[in-house]
Each structure stands twice: as C-alpha cells, then as structure tokens.
Structure 1
C-alpha cells in the first residue's frame, strides 16, 4: 500500500499537469507523511542530493555546449564532415550523422545537437533535393549519439543515481564504441536509402577550400582532445575538464571565430542558468523520492518480483528493455535515470550485469525515447526546426527506429562493446 501511495501520488500529479520535478518532490512529501517520517528528513535529502561535487560537471558542460552551439562551431563541424564524406551519393545525410558525432562529443546534449546541426543541415538537405521529413529523421536519430559519446550529461546523472559507485570516466569511455556503432548503423541505412531513392551525390571540395575548412574546424575538435585527453591522462577530473572546456569554448568562439556578439553573452548565460536550475531542482527532488522509495523497500520488492519471473539474466534484460522503452516514450530522460536507476540497478547486479554496462543499456533505451512520441523532446525540436508535424517526422523515423533497436540489442547482449575500452584503460 505504501508503494501505491508514493507512485500513485506521483502519477496523479503528473496527470494533473504538475511539472515532473515538483511531482517528485510532492510525492516524496506524501510518502513521508504516510509512513510517518519527519519532513525534516525529506528536506535534508533534497539538500544533500544537490550537494555533491561531481554535479559541478553538469553546469560547465551545459555552458560549454551552449557557447559552441551558438558560436559558429556547429556550422564549421558540418563543413568539416562535408569535406570527409560529403562527395558520395547521399553524402549530405552522412555529413549530418558525422556532424552529430563530432558535436555530440563536444556538447553531450542531443537537444543541442539537433538544434545546432539541424538548423544548418535540414534546409541544406532540402535545397539539394532530399525530402524534408527524411532530413529531419536523419538529424534527430543521429543526435541520439550525444547520449552515449562523451561527455554525456546523462552519464553524470547515472553515476549520481547509482550512489556515486560508478566512475564517470568509465561511463564516458564505455559510451565510445556504442556511440560509434550507432553512427555507423545509421550511416549504412542512409547509404541504402540514398541508393534506393536516388538521392543526390555531393561535390568534391577543392583542396585549398578543404584545407581552410579543416583548419577552422580543428579549433572546435580540440575540445574533444581537451576533455577526453585530460581525463584519461589523469591531468584533471571530469569536473575540471568541464570547466576547462568552457574556457576553451569561450576563447575559440570570441577570439578565434568571432561570430558571436559580446552583447549576446548575458542572454546565453541566463538561458544556461535556467537550464541548470531546472536540472538541479529535479536532482534534489529525485533524491528525496529515492530516499522514500528505499524506506518503503520498493527496489527490493522490484528485485524480488523480476527474479521470480526468471533467473535468466538475458530474459530479465529483455524485460527491462521493454520497460525502459515504454517509459521513455512517456517521460523525459533525466527523471527516468534518477528514478529507475536505484530500482533496477540492484536487479541487474544480482544477475551479474556490470553497472557500467547497464548504464549504456539505459542510455540507448532512453535515448530512443527522446525521439519517440508523445514526449520525445528531441523529436519536438527537430520537427519545430523543419516546420513539420510530429506525425510526419515519426513516420519517416520508422526505418531509423529499426536501426536503433538493432544497436540496442547489440549493446544489451554484447557487454564487451561497453566494457572493453574502460577495462583496457584501467577505469
């Protein structure tokens, strides 16, 4: 009954239109009153939930991504991708995916990826003869890579939700191969569709112009080297790499590219603070919600229920995948990570699944949810940029969903994809 009160009040508040973060906080209060826990304990959990040093990485990565997205870096990365693969048939669709790979490795945000790459490439692809719905589908599906490729904000949230027991650096490295696999799978699909529908072939860029494009893009690509190189070499931590990324992004944008106006910086900072504030409120209330769940022994009950269904870890992982896919279509990614990780992680650990591997399974599942109606944030952004209805884009996404589900199965049942690189690097 206590679990019904907690979960039921949370669902009721969401149905009434209360924002997810506040639904979590109010449901935690209702649950605390029901099991007669002092409300002071809930307040303490909210405060301690955001009072974690590792969380400093989130605002810095968000700010770095915002500076790069608005400072001309996305446009230069698109041009650089065009130099590499834009000359083949269907080349612009491949450029779109590769640009998402580059930008995702810098911003760590699928929404920022879609907004930045999509605003450049969706109109360009349409102008070159690609259907607008196909261009939008390529953009939003390609941006899911940013969930996996470091530096992923959601990897930081997963580490936090796991109680800080999972290394952020290990999660960053675990996402490299699955992220690249996702990009490769989508690229193969685009090549097939380009051949089938006769999409245009790009032009070879002259050497002099190509060298100029590459030179400009290198400044942005250096951000990846700074973030990953610094962490792997031990020169600085994930938090320190995020702050250095901000300084580098600011330097490149304002003093190298010089496309961004100084007068626009206060507005950018204001938007970043609003985004970070929302995330921190969510983290604090989710911590209180998780605390009440623990007192009600909900994770233990879920573990007992799932293990009673089967003692085969592959069956359990399949059931969890179905659960995550369904919930990912109904809720945003961040709250689901914070809510479900404390519940599901004990289950998979009992089955012998590595927590880092399970983190990648969650990322792929919930990343697919970001482009799936009715609550697909990235899908909404892509549709808004393309000025298309959600249903039109969703229909164009169908073959891309198939490709993403293939990647999900591979990440789920081939753990070495996630674990080889962090173990090789001793993380």
Structure 2
C-alpha cells in the first residue's frame, strides 16, 4: 500500500499534476489497489481534514489581506517604510524588506505578500535603477517572512496537528525569527548594493513629513496590535481574531482611508475565495495522504527507528533541516505540515526538544521551499506579477538563500530565539 502511495504520488508530480491532486489520487490508488477499505473512505478523510473550527481562520485572514490591499493600505505601508530607509544606499531594497515584514503582520501569507506590496516594490526598485531580476529575487525572499510573523496560516495548521503547542504560542514564537530574517536580508541587500553600486535617488524626508506619514499609517499598523493583543489577553481566539481582522480592514479601507468602495468588494471576495479554495483543497488532499500513512503505522515505525539511533537533539534537528530542505524542493509548506509534522513532532518530543522550538524550525524550513525551484511558488508568483522569467530570479537567489540558511542555523542552535517570547508571555 505504501509503495503504491509513494510511487503514484511521485509519478503524478513528475508529469505535472498539481500537488493537491497528486496526493488525493495517490491516496485513492493506494486504498483501491492496496487495501480492503472502500474508496469512499478517502473522500471521508478529505472532508474530515476541513471539518475544523480553527481552520476557519484561514479564509478570513486571506480575505483581510485582500481588503488591506484593495483599501490602498499596501501603498501606505510602503510609504511608511520608505521614509526611514529610502534615502540610504540600497534604500529601496531595505524598504522592500521592511514593507514585507509589516504586511506579514496583516496577511499571514507569503503569496499575498509577494503579489501585493512585493510586486509594487519591484516596479519602484526598477525605476530607481536596480536590476529587475535582483528586485524580484529580493521580493520573493522577503515574502518568506509572511508565514513567520503572526498572524500565520501555516502556524494555525501546525497547532491543529500537535496538541503540545497553541496558536497563540506559535504566533509569539514567530516574531523574533521573522525579525531576524528581516535583518539578514537587509544585510544581504547592503552587501549586494555596495558591490553593484546601487544608489538612492530619494531625498530624505523632513521631520514634519515623517510624522504625518507615520500618523497616517498608524491605523493600518494597529491591526497587528489588535490581533496579537486580543489573542494574548484572551479577548478572542485566533479564529475570532481573523474575523475581527476582516471587519477592521473593511472599516479602515472604507472610512479611515476612504479608498475602498462597495463596488470593489465582489472582486476582492472573489480573489480571496479562489486563494482559500486552493489552500483548502491542498489541506483536504494532505489529510487523505496522511491517513494512509497512519493506518500503515509509518509514523510509529519511523519514530521507533529514529529513537533507537539515540541521536542527540542537535544532531536530530540538523538531520531534520536537511530532510525538510530537500522536501521543500518538491512540495509546498501546507501539505508538508499536514504530512510530516504528525510523524516528526512525536520523535522530537521523545528527544526532549521544546515543542515550540521544533515548530519554528520546521515552519521556517518548509517556507524556504517557497523560493527553491522547481516547485517554489513564490518564484512563479513574482515572475508572473512583474513579467520576469523564473530562471532570471533563480540566478539572483543564492545570497538571499544563504541568509535564510544562516537564520535557520541560529534557530537550530539557539532555542531561546523561538521560546523566549512565548515564555515571558505566559504560553
């Protein structure tokens, strides 16, 4: 049954079948040809994978991100970030990373980050004299911060798989790693801009203009405070926070910034629905795929084998880094969480690794798959949005990928980067 599952899955991937359909079809073939279970059980497991109250947060956070983009708040955040660093050498590159970090605190999605402020920043950087492929590669790399800074869709899904961690704890745990990624990407941008001679043509804004821009951006930035503060104080759950985010984005766009009109809503809801459907189909298929693994006792067997090796926690984490980086070459983060986390998390727990620390290592690892070919979704989103070939983006990626790997190693060897904020916050 397992042989049928994996052989059919990889064959389907090789011939170009989308990941979600590859997992669902592989699970169906494994059940039909390799077991006595009725085929309807695959459909039942797919529906079970979506029958979850916390999962309702996913489409609402996606809708909130679309409302923020449609309500011109993306432009406001770009202007807010540019006023601090736009006048420096490589300033538009810094502004790109900073705006992606701020938008990450609103969207929870790397793809929304790249398609929204990221695409706008590529055009701005090109006008400012930067090579377009470099601007695109920096945009894709910065968008990886989207699933790390809370709110995060992938963190919600991870918490659904592992009882030892909560969504609130993971949200708090993602803040410092997200900021660390931001700093490393800024360092990479500094090095490349000095090497290539990219200079800023923007004048430094005056204090009065900076104050006015900051005050104008505060309502948009306050959404992050509402989400994190509301969850931390227990005013609402993460699912309820996603609904609050939708209504807050709607009110800001329509009444504070007055750039969101009623006629825009059908198109915004349509785009959010398409993205949500794509995500939910992946989750449903991943649930069926994981169910086949579970009934064949693959997680238990693998856990017993790895525990028998008596690896130290650090060696285990380094091995997991290699495994997940390789896994990310061929699969997106969401199915990765659904399929791999139920297998790996119990092993990490048996080795005494902090569950929050392990969660962040896994999440950061899997999100790097978004910028690694051949499947890297962010590469295709950015190339499509700004009319670049994927090969041009890939050629500019090595310095940024190195920056991400350095952050990953820091997270592996220094657990406090992930666990300190959740600890002092009471999670």
* 310 and 85 in structure 1: CA distance in 2 versus 1, 3 angstrom threshold: same
CA deviation map 1:49-103 (0-9, x unaligned)? 2111111111110100111122211111010011222222211111111111100
Structure 1: distance between partners of 2:139 and 2:278: 26
2:160 aligned with 1:160, yes or no?
yes
CA deviation after TM superposition for structure 1 residue 40, in Å = 4.8
* 98 and 27 in structure 1: CA distance in 2 versus 1, 3 angstrom threshold: same
Would you say the 8 A contact 2:328–2:368 is kept in 1?
yes
Partner of 2:100: 100
2:233 aligned with 1:233, yes or no?
yes
Structure 2: distance between partners of 1:25 and 1:127: 45
Structure 2: distance between partners of 1:273 and 1:252: 21
2:384 aligned with 1:384, yes or no?
yes
* 278 and 389 in structure 1: CA distance in 2 versus 1, 3 angstrom threshold: closer
**Greater alpha carbon shift after TM alignment, 263-272 vs 219-228:** 263-272
Partner of 1:83: 83
Structure 2: distance between partners of 1:281 and 1:390: 26
Partner of 1:133: 133
Would you say the 8 A contact 1:69–1:112 is kept in 2?
no
Partner of 2:172: 173
Give the number of aligned pairs.
425
TM-score, normalised to structure 1, is 0.94
CA deviation after TM superposition for structure 1 residue 12, in Å = 2.7
**Greater alpha carbon shift after TM alignment, 307-316 vs 47-56:** 307-316
CA deviation after TM superposition for structure 1 residue 165, in Å = 4.2
Taking only aligned residues, the RMSD between alpha carbons, in angstroms, comes to 1.8
Secondary structure in structure 2 of the residue aligned to 1:341: helix
Structure 2: distance between partners of 1:169 and 1:129: 42
Would you say the 8 A contact 2:119–2:139 is kept in 1?
no
Partner of 1:331: 331
Would you say the 8 A contact 1:118–1:385 is kept in 2?
no
Structure 1: distance between partners of 2:24 and 2:392: 36
2:248 aligned with 1:223, yes or no?
no
1:11-410 pair list within 5 angstroms: 11-33=10-32, 34-162=34-162, 164-201=163-200, 202-309=202-309, 311-410=311-410
CA deviation after TM superposition for structure 1 residue 314, in Å = 1.8
**Greater alpha carbon shift after TM alignment, 179-188 vs 121-130:** 121-130
Secondary structure in structure 2 of the residue aligned to 1:281: helix
Secondary structure in structure 1 of the residue aligned to 2:198: coil
TM-score, normalised to structure 2, is 0.94
Would you say the 8 A contact 1:6–1:31 is kept in 2?
yes
Would you say the 8 A contact 1:310–1:316 is kept in 2?
no
Partner of 1:7: 6
Structure 1: distance between partners of 2:17 and 2:90: 44
* 47 and 386 in structure 1: CA distance in 2 versus 1, 3 angstrom threshold: closer
Residue segments in structure 2 that go unaligned for 5+ positions in a row: none
Structure 1: distance between partners of 2:12 and 2:226: 43
Residue segments in structure 1 that go unaligned for 5+ positions in a row: none
CA deviation after TM superposition for structure 1 residue 377, in Å = 0.8
Structure 2: distance between partners of 1:24 and 1:52: 20
**Greater alpha carbon shift after TM alignment, 324-333 vs 243-252:** 324-333
